[in-house]
């Protein structure tokens, strides 16, 4: 039975090079979110590890399979979802591939029973060179995914994306066509791009798809090479920011009201008016 009104939460952290410490922070904040009533919890991209060099993630990459023995990152996510009794969307972690020099950037979807319900592999990779700003070549160490993922939960149908995906509205239109009511955007947006684009992009994705957006972000300086914007957001289908994280580690909790979403879609039926 669909629960029309509930709370969702974003975990905002500053992940660094110590996997165990990062996972402990995620577990603590997920438990805090659950204690405040959250039914869905989103961890940011790179929640388990941010190194100085892109290829450092290869050493901690894990297989992501529904059953069998799990590595420490996957197992920690299964444990924290089960212990907190929440649907956990674990932002983005390095999933091992047949290529020894590249991984997938994978979001894990874990049920409250601690089962791996689904996974999404980041489709759009962050290859940019902005002098004095962001300079990354994600494709050197990451293989792009190709599958659009919508997960059925008791709290609605959830469309999954990661960070740089948010600049590609065609992905979200496809998620909407597949019934997504909530759009998940775990991210590690840079300060340079985030200060100008983060709010605008997330509000646009919410408005044009008439869906809730839950965007958990990295915050602060994980190392000397990188500064993350933070400002984890929950945006409603009208484009209103219903919750925003301050400039520190922690959680932000906001209400998801699918009845309000139905009202927006009924009164302004733009999704049914689409011609292309």
DSSP line for 94-150: EEE-SSTT-EEEEEEEE-TTS-EEEEEE--S--EEE-TTS-EEEGGGTB-------E
Q: Which sequence positions are flagged as catalytic?
A: 45, 122, 163
Angle, alpha carbons 248-38-191 (nearest 5°): 30
Contact 27, 110 (CB under 8 A): no
13, burial (CB in 10 Å: exposed 0-12, middle 13-18, buried 19+): buried
DSSP, collapsed to helix, strand or coil, labels residue 6 as strand
SS3 content of the chain, % helix, strand, coil (to 5): 30, 35, 35
DSSP for 165-231? Answer: GGG-HHHHHHHHHTT-SEEE--B--BHHHHHHHHHHHHHHHHHHHT-EEEE-BBEEEEETTEEEE--
Q: What are phi and psi of 271, to 5 degrees?
A: -65, -35
């Amino acid at each position: 039975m669909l629960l029309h009104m509930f709370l969702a939460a974003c975990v905002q952290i500053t992940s660094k090079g110590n996997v165990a410490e990062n996972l402990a922070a995620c577990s603590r904040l997920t438990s805090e979110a659950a204690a405040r009533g959250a039914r869905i919890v989103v961890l940011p991209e790179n929640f388990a590890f941010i190194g100085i060099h892109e290829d450092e993630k290869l050493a901690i990459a894990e297989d992501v399979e529904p059953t069998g023995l799990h590595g420490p990152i996957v197992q920690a996510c299964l444990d924290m979802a089960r212990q907190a009794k929440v649907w956990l969307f674990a932002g983005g972690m390095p999933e091992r591939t047949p290529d020894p020099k590249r991984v997938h950037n994978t979001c894990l979807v874990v049920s409250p029973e601690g089962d791996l319900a689904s996974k999404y592999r980041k489709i759009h990779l962050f290859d940019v060179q902005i002098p004095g700003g962001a300079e990354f070549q994600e494709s050197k160490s990451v293989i792009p995914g190709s599958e659009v993922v919508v997960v059925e939960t008791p709290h609605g149908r959830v469309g999954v994306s990661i960070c740089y995906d948010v600049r590609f509205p065609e992905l979200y239109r496809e998620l909407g066509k597949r019934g997504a009511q909530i759009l998940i955007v775990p991210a590690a947006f840079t300060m340079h791009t985030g200060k100008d684009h983060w709010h605008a992009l997330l509000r646009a994705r919410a408005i044009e798809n008439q869906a809730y957006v839950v965007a958990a972000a990295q915050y602060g300086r994980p190392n000397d090479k990188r500064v993350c914007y933070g400002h984890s957001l929950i945006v409603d289908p009208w484009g209103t920011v219903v919750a925003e994280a301050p400039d520190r580690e922690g959680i932000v909790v906001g209400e998801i009201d699918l009845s309000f979403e139905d009202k927006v879609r009924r009164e302004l039926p733009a999704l049914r008016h689409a011609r292309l």
